[in-house]
Structure 1
Amino acid sequence: MHTFPQPCLERSRGNACWSPDAIGIGPGYACGKKSAPYTTREISPDVAQQARKALQNINAALQAVGSSLADTVRIITHVPTSTDMPAVAVVLGETFRNIDPAGTMVCTPLARRELKVEFEVTAIRGASSLPAKYIRASV
């Protein structure tokens, strides 16, 4: 397990919020997250556990501003090692089944060697209650 420093304190004013997890004004929020829990600052060496914890952290940040992962409209997944991508894809499938956000997974280095996955999520508060429209595009 690796330990990370404490994050900055959350601050909010009106319908705007900033934290290490969620940035938003009005109904939209963007979150970027690694998997270190705030209480212990430790991170698992297992990529699937890192993915689950990071998504749990994002969901908690979104819930703090009146949203949730169910309101996710886009997710970008960063995985530094391509052999870890299938395990992360399984976690994404479990988490976003029936939510269906636009998604991209890229193989790119992260800030620390022990980090195996990082997510950028865009959520729009209330999106989960809107009728879904699907557009299929190939480039």
Structure 2
Amino acid sequence: MSKKLISSGSDFEKLAGYSRAVVEHGLVHVSGTTGFNYDAMTIDADLIDQTHQIFKNIEAALKQAGAGLDDVVRVHYLITDASYFEQVAPIFGQYFVNARPAATAMVVGLIDPRMKIEIEVTARLPNLN
């Protein structure tokens, strides 16, 4: 199986030399994804809105790969303030109600101060046994 690269269309991917997602050996590796709306290249200041936008962005990448949120097996949550976790944890549960992936949450500094959260996932292609 050859490697497949998936792009969101962001110019930053080319500049920084990465892909939104990479599909290889039956797995979909989705890069750390922030709350940017890639169509408008804007980011909402609200943590909750950023989190929902992240899941839209991740779903779009997974769909291009032939997978969905229910196929996610691993997730890393990167938040810029520990107090945010209580606010966003129920949102994680909403999107991963079926997948229930292995998860890690970390408090980190992100590149752009407007970013409050970043999420990275790994999914398994559903057509593989």
Q: After superposition, where does 1:97-116 map in structure 2 within 5 Å?
A: 97-116=97-116
Residue 17 of structure 1: aligned partner: 4
TM-score scaled by structure 1?
0.77
Residue 61 of structure 1: aligned partner: 61
| Length, aligned pairs only | 116
Aligned-residue offset at 1:16? 2.3
Q: After superposition, where does 1:82-121 map in structure 2 within 5 Å?
A: 82-121=82-121
Provide the C-alpha distance between the structure 1 equivalents of 2:4 and 2:36, rounded to a whole number of angstroms.
21
Partner-residue secondary structure (3-state), 1:74: strand
Contiguous gaps of at least 5 residues in structure 1: 1-13, 131-139
Q: After superposition, where does 1:42-61 map in structure 2 within 5 Å?
A: 42-61=42-61
Task: Flag the 1:74–1:59 CA change in 2: closer, same or farther, 3 A.
Answer: same
Say what the alpha-carbon RMSD is for the aligned residues. 1.8
Provide the C-alpha distance between the structure 2 equivalents of 1:92 and 1:24, rounded to a whole number of angstroms.
23
Aligned-residue offset at 1:15? 4.6
Per-residue CA deviation, residues 49-108 of structure 1 (Å, 9 max, x unaligned), is 111111110111010011111100000000011111111211101111121100111111
Q: Which runs of 4+ in 1 moved over 6 A?
A: none
Identical counterparts, % of pairs: 28
Larger radius of gyration: 1
Provide the C-alpha distance between the structure 1 equivalents of 2:2 and 2:59, rounded to a whole number of angstroms.
18
Residue 28 of structure 1: aligned partner: 27
* Amino acid in structure 1 at the alignment position of 2:71: D
Partner-residue secondary structure (3-state), 1:39: coil
TM-score scaled by structure 2?
0.83
Partner-residue secondary structure (3-state), 2:37: coil
Partner-residue secondary structure (3-state), 1:82: coil
